[in-house]
Amino acid sequence: MRSWVVLWSPPGGLFPLPTFPGGALVGLILTLNLTAALVNRFDRDWRRLGLWIIHAGLILLVAGEFCTGAFQREMSMTIEEGQTVNILEDYRTWNWWWPT
């Protein structure tokens, strides 16, 4: 869901080809569409305040997911019984400077 495009590697191909838009691109386009519709179509009066709050909440949820996906790091801590540990391990990246 956090990729911009879905890549497909054909058998014997030299490089992957973009096949479909990814979830991040679709989410960004839908959020821009929702924002444009909110600004252009809805009346700005007190009777429509609930509608504005609901749509602003949806935009905030999608923006929060984009920020979370951009800045998160998934790590793990392996703790054996009776052991004290103060280090996190990131299995997705390789730290060439970390002593093994």
Task: For the chain, give every domain's residue range.
Answer: 5-71
Confidence (pLDDT) at 95: 60
* Pair of tokens at residue 55: 């749509």
φ and ψ at residue 87, rounded to 5 degrees: -135, 140
| Amino acid sitting at position 63 | A
Q: Are 1 and 68 in contact (CB under 8 A)?
A: no
- Tell me: the pLDDT tens digits for 33-78? 999 988 898 888 888 899 889 999 999 998 898 888 888 878 888 8
Q: Are 21 and 1 in contact (CB under 8 A)?
A: no
What confidence tier does 30 reach under pLDDT thresholds 50, 70, 90?
Answer: very high
* Pair of tokens at residue 65: 């997911």
CB atoms within 10 A of CB 62: 16
